[in-house]
Amino acid sequence: MRVRGEVLTGEDLQRSHDRARVVDARHRRRRLALWWLLIGPGVLAMLGENDGPSMLSYAATGATYGIGFFLPFIVLTFLAAYVVQEMAMRVGAVTHRGYGELVFQRFGRFWGWLSAGDLVVTNFVTLITELIAVRVGAAYFGVPPLVAVGAGVALVVFSVAGGRYWRWERVALSLAGLNLVFLVAGVMTHPDPAALAGAFATWKPLPGGSLQTFLLLLASDIGATVTPWMIFFQQSAVVDKGMTPRDIPEGRLDTLAGALLAALAGCGALLAAAVLFEHHVDPAQLQAGTGFAQALQRWAGAPVAALFSIGLIEAGALALLTISASTAYAVGEAVSGAHSFNRRIGEAPLFYALNVGTAALAAAIVLIPGAPLLSIALNANLLAIVLMPAALVFLILLASDREIMGTQANRSSTNLWAAGVTGLVAFAGSAYAVVAFLATVGGTR
Amino acid sequence: MREPGLPEHVRHIYEGEPDEDLIEALEPDQLVDAMESKLPCRLLGRWTRTGLWALRVFVLTMTGLVVYTFVASLGARG
């Protein structure tokens, strides 16, 4: 179809409907309406990363160390995530291209395929862990694994039906709010206000015990907030939503709101599980996730255990949507195929097949009896963390590139913050990878 | 049917006017046709190229460590 000399697709028309509302809200100076229309990619990236493994990681931290160093550390990691995701949002709004697309076009095929390949593998394994979270959470309420996992896949199918980005985003957002049940669970354990204030003021007590456990939890908590899929997802979602440089202030607010909500929920999970630390419950017995609800039921009461289980279901379900979407966006960008929720299924078959297919395949694996799920999950997270510095370096290069970003390119201060985040992630990831490798070599000799 | 109460710039949203009006809500470089055009490869300085080679070595080494750890842990299970 041609309008005023431009070739228009159905995707353009769908997106223009959403943009017309944004233009109208801005014209009428309706700030709340404008924010409501533009909220989405930032909140979904941040709360999507508060997924099953992340919440279990925060809970494991609380059960291992109680209230102390890691509480303000979680808030710090989300501030780091804000620095990263703000860049992804800005690059998407200015260039109207996804992260994977830009890495291919600006830095060549090696980095393009490495980024996309790494993402597809780690996302797929992460999807397995999301379905484990859904299964574990549902098991607390007596739901059989087949029903729980099947419902997770059905949710993905429901969310993508409709051929509209706006619809997909609102389905995902309606789930995202439930992440705050972790905060409610944390508050219901009645944490000591003096201990909370002391932790935020002094970052104490410092973690003791084994270095490997400390590095594992440090790397896991960083990996629970700053990951490659978030960059791919938010940048592609910003493009699919149709955001422009004029929307950057609202995009920042969206990202900041997501970071704050996710930090609150993460701290809530830590606080809820800190009860187990106070009762000297052995965290090693809780690592697989199945033990948290039972332990919380005993030491914090059934309502806290039920909220924790609901939170796990939500965390897994939301991440199923966002992580499958990020895989579909990344592959679509890598092969230059159609990659938008604003396309009909027939117009973007690969995009929709990847969205649903990866979730369905992960579900099939979760249901295989005796599969080494925990080992797969831990190593997938580790791989995502050690590959994150590369993703960050390219994001910084893209966001600083005046040829494509113009006046929206990174300032020196932003680059300084981003370099600090990259250094922190590189240190934590590689330190744990080396320590785990040495322990494995020592153990297998 | 036109509703006189509606401002001109939003009529198309409620009255289903032609696509020409709707499409004005998009920036020209936001149209699918424009987004599909390729950007040129970035010209990198010597320092950046060296840094990217170092990054390549870091990524491949770390991936090797993680894959070894994973395979060894599977072997230990078996």
Cβ-contact A189, A22 below 8 angstroms: no
A17/B69 CB distance under 8 A: no
Q: Say if residue B31 is in the same domain as residue B52.
A: no
pLDDT number for residue A186: 96
- In a domain, residue A23? The reply is no
Residue A25, in any domain of the structure: no
CA distance A354 to A291: 33
Q: Mean pLDDT, chain A, as a whole number?
A: 90
Greater model confidence, A239 or B70:
A239
Domain count for chain A, please give it.
1
Domain of A115: which CATH number? 1.20.1740.10
pLDDT per residue as tens digits for the range A1-15 = 555 556 678 899 889
Mutation target to probe the A interface, by most A beta carbons within 10 A, among B23, B53, B67, B77 is: B23
**Amino acid A287: pLDDT:** 57
DSSP 8-state symbol, A278: H
Chain segment A296-329, per-residue pLDDT in tens:
999 999 999 999 999 999 999 999 999 999 999 9
From the CB of residue A157, how many other CB atoms can be counted at a distance below 10 Å? 13
Whether the CB-CB separation of B25 and A14 falls below 8 Å is answered with: no
Mean pLDDT for the stretch of residues A407-435 = 90
Query: What does the pLDDT read at residue B12?
Result: 47
Query: Which residue in the block uniquely carries the two structure tokens 């895989």?
Result: A327
The b/e string for B20-49 (b: 16+ C-beta within 10 A; e otherwise) is ebbbbbbeeebbbeebeeeeeebeeeeeee
Domain around B19: 1-37
Q: In angstroms, rounded to a whole number, what is the distance separating the alpha carbons of residues A411 and A400?
A: 8
Is A123 domain-assigned? yes
Residues 6+ apart with CB under 8 A from A440: B68, B69, B72, B73
Q: Look at the block and give the residue holding tokens 């981003």.
A: A418
The verdict on residue A28 lying in a domain is no
Residue A229's closest CA among A94, A108, A127, A349?
A: A127
Burial class (CB in 10 A: 0-12, 13-18, 19+), A421: buried
Amino acid sitting at position B48 = T
Is pLDDT of A82 > 90?
yes
Mean pLDDT of A137-153: 95
- Chain B within 8 Å of A361 (Cβ-Cβ)? no
CA–CA gap between residue B56 and residue A221 (Å, rounded): 25
Q: Which residues is A2 bridged to in the sheet?
A: A7
- With 50 as the cut, is the pLDDT of residue B16 above it? no
Q: What is the pLDDT of residues A400-420, one digit of tens each?
A: 999 999 999 999 999 999 999
A328-352 residue pLDDT tens: 999 999 999 999 999 999 999 999 9
Q: Kindly report the number of other CB atoms within 10 A of residue B10's CB atom.
A: 17
Cβ-based contacts of A236 with chain B (< 8 Å): none
Q: How close A244 gets to chain B, by Cα (Å)?
A: 8
Please tell me the predicted confidence (pLDDT) of residue A395.
96
- Cβ–Cβ below 8 Å for A22 and B25: yes
Q: Chain A: nearest CA to B28, how far in angstroms?
A: 9
Q: Which whole number is the average pLDDT over A24-36?
A: 94
Residue A134: its pLDDT value, please? 94
DSSP letters for A297-333:
HHHH-HHHHHHHHHHHHHHHHHHHHHHHHHHHHHHHH
| Mean pLDDT, chain B, integer | 76
Pair B78, B52 in one domain: yes
* A370 inside 8 A of chain B by CB: no
CA A304 to chain centre: 24
Spell out which residues of chain B touch residue A244, defining contact as CB-CB under 8 Å.
27, 30
CB pairs < 8 Å spanning A and B? 147
Polymer length of chain A: 445
User: What's the count of helices (H) and strands (E) in chain B, helices before strands?
Assistant: 4, 0
Instruction: List CB contacts (< 8 A) between B42 and chain A.
Output: 106-107, 397, 401, 403
A111: which chain B residues are within 8 Å (Cβ-Cβ)? Answer: 52
Lowest-pLDDT choice from A94-98, A229-233, A415-419, A427-431: A427-431
pLDDT for A445 equals 41
B63 interaction partners in chain A (CB closer than 8 Å): 383, 386-387
Residue A171, in any domain of the structure? yes
pLDDT classification of B1: cutoffs 50, 70, 90: very low
How many structural domains is chain B composed of? 2
For the complex shown, is ipTM > 0.85? no
Which of A440, A441, A444, A445 to probe the B interface (max B CBs under 10 A)?
Answer: A440
pLDDT band at B5 (very low <50, low <70, confident <90, very high): low
Tokens of A195: 């201990």
Query: Does residue A284 have a pLDDT over 80?
Result: no
The answer to whether residue A194 neighbours chain B at the CB level (below 8 Å) is no
CA dist., res. A348 & res. A331, Å (int):
12
Shared-domain flag, residues B46 and B74: yes
- If we measure between CA atoms, which residue out of A242, A81, A294, A42 comes closest to residue B34? A242
- Within this chain, do residues B51 and B62 fall inside the same structural domain, yes or no? yes
Identify the bridge partners of residue A3 per DSSP, sorted by sequence position. Answer: A6
pLDDT of residue A268: 97
Contact A444 B72 (CB under 8 A): yes
Which chain B residues contact residue A393 at CB under 8 A? 51-52, 55
Q: What is the pLDDT of residues A370-390, one digit of tens each?
A: 766 666 666 666 777 788 888
Measured in degrees and rounded to the nearest 5, phi and psi for residue A2 equal -120, 135
Rounded to 5°, the CA angle A320-A373-A67 comes to: 75
What are the tokens at A441?
């070599």
Structural domain boundaries, residue A250: 39-444
Q: Are B78 and B53 part of one and the same domain?
A: yes
- The answer to whether residue A11 is domain-embedded is no
